[in-house]
Every structure is written in C-alpha cells, then in structure tokens.
Amino acid sequence: MTYNKRLAVLVFVDSMIVIFSIYISNFILLPTGNVFSSALFVSAVTLLIGHHVFAHKYKLYKRVWQYASISELSSIVKAVTFSVILTAIVQMIVIQDTYSRTLAITWMMHILFIGGSRFAWRMYRSQYIKPREDRKRTLMVGAGAAGIMVVRDLKNNSDAELEPVAFVDDDVRKHRLEIMDVPVLGGTNEMADIVQSNNIEQIIIAIPSLNKEGLNQIFQECSKTKAKTQILPRMEDLMLGNVEVHQFRDVEVEDLLGREPIQLDINGIAEYITDKTVLVTGAGGSIGSEICRQLARFTPKQLVLLGHGENSIYSIEMELSRKLPDLNIVTEIADVQDREKMFSIMAARQPHVVFHAAAHKHVPLMERNPEEAVKNNVIGTKNVAEAASRAKVNTFVMVSTDKAVNPTSVMGATKRIAEMVVQHMDMISDTRFVAVRFGNVLGSRGSVIPLFKQQIKNGGPVTVTHPDMVRYFMTIPEASRLVLQAGALADGGEVFVLDMGEPVKIVDLARNLIKLSGYTEDEIPIEFSGIRPGEKMFEELLGKNEVHDEQVYPKIYRGKTPEVNINVTYDLVERFQDQSKEELRKHLLDIANFRVRELVVLGRVE
C-alpha cells in the first residue's frame, strides 16, 4: 500500500472512531438524549479536528505499527488527551459548560479504539503471518537493547532467514528469564553446551558497545561450536541506510584485532591539510591510496597522486573523483628513482605537505634483490626528500616499518637507512621531516591475510612459518590515520610509533581465518614451512635506546632515535651496483645496525 492510500485509510478509520467514541459516550450517560444537539455536534467536530491535529504532531500516521511498542502507545495517549482537553476548552467557550463525565468516557474509549486498531495489526502479523519454515535456529549473544531490537525485527519479518530461540548474557540477573518469549539460558562461557543442546545453527553477537578484546573473547567461545557466527552491521552503515539491522555481517579478522582504533585530532590535522596542496608518493598502493582517502576528508586545495603504476593511480583517481567530484586531483606517473622528475614535480606543484609512501616492502623478494631495495627505498627516499627541501615543503612524513628496528632483512635495513636520510634532512633543511613506523598492515598487498585467504579458497593447507612467530597488526585505515596525525604532531626529526597493543601469533591468526571462512582445521590443515630469509620471530617498534615512555598523543609515542653521522658520502652505498648481492646485503645490515661509524649520504643536498 502506498503512503497516500495508507494515510487515507488511517484518517478515515480514526475519524469513525472519534465520532463513534463521543456519541457512544453520550448515549451511555444519556440514552434518551438528543443525538443531534448543537452541543454534541460542536464537541464532535472539535474532537475530530483536535485528534487529526495532534495525531499529525505525534506522527501517528507515519509510524510502522507492526513494530508498535510503549513509545507508540505513549504517542496515542498524548494525542487523545490533548484533543479531549481542547474539546473541553471549546465547550466552555461556546456552550458555557463542560460535559466532564462524557469527555472522561470519550477519552477512555478513544484510547481503547485508536490503540486497538493499531496494535491489532501487530497481533495479526504475530499470530497469522507465519515465518518461513526453513529459518535457522539462532542464538543471540547479548540480551540488551540491541539484542532485543534484533529479536523483535526478526520476529516481525516473515522473510527473515533466522529464528531466535535463545539468548546468552553475562548479566546473571537475566538468567532464566524470557524476553519476547526467548529465554536467557546462561552466560557466554556456557555457549558451547547451549549451542549443542538447542541445535543452534547460527550465532549473532549483538553487543554494539563491545570492544575488540571482548569481541575476541566471545568469538573464541563461538569457535568451540560448529554454528556460523555473525555480528551486527557497522553503526555507520546503519546510520547511512546502507543496510538494515537484520542484515548481519561475518566477523572479519580486523574485528578481532585486540586494540581500539586511534582517534584523530581533527582540528590539528585540518590546520595543516585544509586548503593546502598535498602530495602523496606511492599513492596507488594499499597504504598510499588509503592516505589519499583520509586526506580527501580534509578538503585540500590540491591532492597530487604520484605513483609508478598507472593502473593503480588511475583506480584511486577514479574512486576519489566519483566520491568527491569537487576535489582538485592531479596525477603524476613517475618513479621516485628518477631524481630529475622528482625535482621537476616538486617545483611545479609546490606542495605544502608530502606523504612518502612509495617503497618496496616484500621481505623475501628484497632479500633476493637487495640492489632494487636500495634504489627504491634509499635513493628514492633521498630524491623525494631533497626535492621537497628544495621546494620548501612545510612537512615531510615518511612511512616506515617496525622491521627497521634492529633489522635482519634487506627491506628493514633499507627502511632504517631511509629513516637516517630523513633525519639528516631535518637537521639541514627548513622542512620538518618525520618518519612513522607501523606493524604489519592487515589486507595490504603482500600481507599474510590475502595469502591465507587464497590458500583457504584453494582447499589448504594454510602455511605458517613457525608456531611461535608473532607480529603486531593494524588495519590500513588505522595506519593511514597515524600518518596524518604524525604530520600534525611533527616538530621535526622524530620517529613516531603507534601503541600496537599485544602482538598476535601468526598461527592464531590462521586459525581464526579458517574459522571465519566456515571451516575447521580438520578440513583446512595448517602446515609449518620454516622461517624465511630475513625474517624475525618477533618484531620491535623501537630499540632499547630509542624509547620515550610518555605518549605524545593517545596511543602514539615519539622515538628517541640515535644520532646519525652523515657527514661524508658512504662509499659502499654509492657504489652498491659494483658489489655482489651477498656483500651488499651484509653492508646494508652493518649500516642499519650501527656497526660502522660513518653512515650514508648519497651525494650532497643540491
């Protein structure tokens, strides 16, 4: 039924109820009275007009009555009460009298019939519109407001695929009670037994206030069962109208990351981004593209996307143009190893801020190709940094890695040397140069998550290097927010590090992904392949001599990095192409771990 037809029906039904209520009330008190009296006519007209006015005010014609509850009943009482009061006032003015007993009975009948007409539809749906017979027996985790809302929605939606049969909640006061005919059978620690004894096929976690640590604990209990586990849609998706409350989503590995996301200092970031020209290198990569998305929120004057891969740059350009058609986007297809091009682009674009995300990051590949790591990670960083200094850029933020701490790999060593270059540039330039170190980024290109997902898709096995290997993890948006926040905090020369929480065992991550994909370890086995060249058993975010205990911003620390001696050109790195891979690998690690006294500067700053 269309809105206009529905409105016409409700107005007609209410009009009949109002007229019937006042006339039947008068008949009850005065069965032999004149039903055509002017006093009764004035009262009926006034009550009818008053009802429709207050029904409109309290939105009685816009409510979905199949979900009627106390709120709807309260609105009915208010609309009826105020319409009756209005009628009493008109009676005193026009008729010079008030028929209080008639109005009292009218008020009661009015509420009874208006409320009954509305709630009758809900009762009809509950009793006679039967749900699908193939609905899955569902356990609701959380008997709070969100859980009750979900149960109500599922019960009133005849097309829903889930049938709520029980709650679990850690509030013992709710145990053995029933909510909307659904019993609360126990706490989350009893979930495995409850699932088995009640033939539960699906589990819905309905606790919006749950932090990531709490969600992880509950998910581990769910993992002990064979039931599929899902959670409520994200709040922002609900608010934007992208999904409905009963459109649950699968638990994702990002949901289980045991740390709450960093909150941005919006004003601080806006101050150095809004209405400024901003350049991002590696803008087509997983981190670089997300930095661009985050930057776009702050309406820069111009956003320059610089990258070597034309397809990835085109992709992020099209995405941003579609979402923000008024954003001024400029694309530059260029390699950071091309020194002349870097100076040319910086001179032409004159950026206020540069985010340097271009780098080779794959550890085993860089072990096999150390010269490429030097060219991209060290020389490329030097080219961009010196070009930024020449163009008088205000702030330069370099994306680094936890593998730069006490590095054992070529990738980590070259990123540490790149940090040294940036720190040296801060000492000799008016530009503020800072670096930001991340742990592993979930879902980025080359990360372990896509590999595990592909292995699971192929039927296994999932390969883990070592059962005791641990890593810090963060999401791509979180990593990108840290980069933006670091720029706002920068004084120059710092290495910023996020409080990464507790490290995660890679084997536990693999097990969670197998479970999230709907399999067991019997179906998708885990195999240990051994540690690869250059890999550590665990990563560090700051060396022992680099740690400042105090946070400079919630969850952000400033590293106290050692002084860098870059007064002379380091012969070894300048002539890296003349060395064997093994020699180059060894010398890079010596430089990065301060096992030589004089460190790298690849030529003087021009």
Q: Which two tokens stand for residue 445?
A: 């290109």
Q: Which two tokens stand for residue 348?
A: 């032409």
In terms of Cα–Cα distance, which of 142, 258, 260 is closest to 204?
A: 142
Omega of the bond leading into 461 within 30 degrees of 0 (cis): yes
For residues 260 and 212, the answer to whether their CB atoms sit within 8 Å is yes
Amino acid identity for residue 174 in this structure: K
3-class SS of residue 140: strand
* Residue among 174, 276, 375, 403 flagged as catalytic: 403
For residues 598 and 568, the answer to whether their CB atoms sit within 8 Å is yes
Query: How many other CB atoms are found less than 10 A from the CB of residue 127?
Result: 8
Q: Name the strand (E) or helix (H) holding 527.
A: strand 526-528
Alpha-carbon dihedral 318, 237, 498, 512, rounded to 10 degrees: -100
Give dist(CA 56, CA 63) in Å, integer.
Answer: 11
**DSSP assignment letter at 257:** -
CA torsion sign for 489, 494, 499, 503 is: positive
For residues 439 and 472, the answer to whether their CB atoms sit within 8 Å is yes
Q: Which two tokens stand for residue 93?
A: 């003015």
* CA contacts within 13 A on the Cβ side of 95: 17
- Active-site annotation holds for 403: yes
In terms of Cα–Cα distance, which of 349, 372, 351, 348 is closest to 361?
A: 372
Buried b (16+ CB within 10 A) or exposed e, 415-426: bbbbbbbbbbbb
Q: What is the DSSP string of 574-600?
A: HTGGGS-HHHHHHHHHHHHTT-SSS--
Buried b (16+ CB within 10 A) or exposed e, 93-106: eeeeeebeebbebb
Enumerate the active-site residues: 403
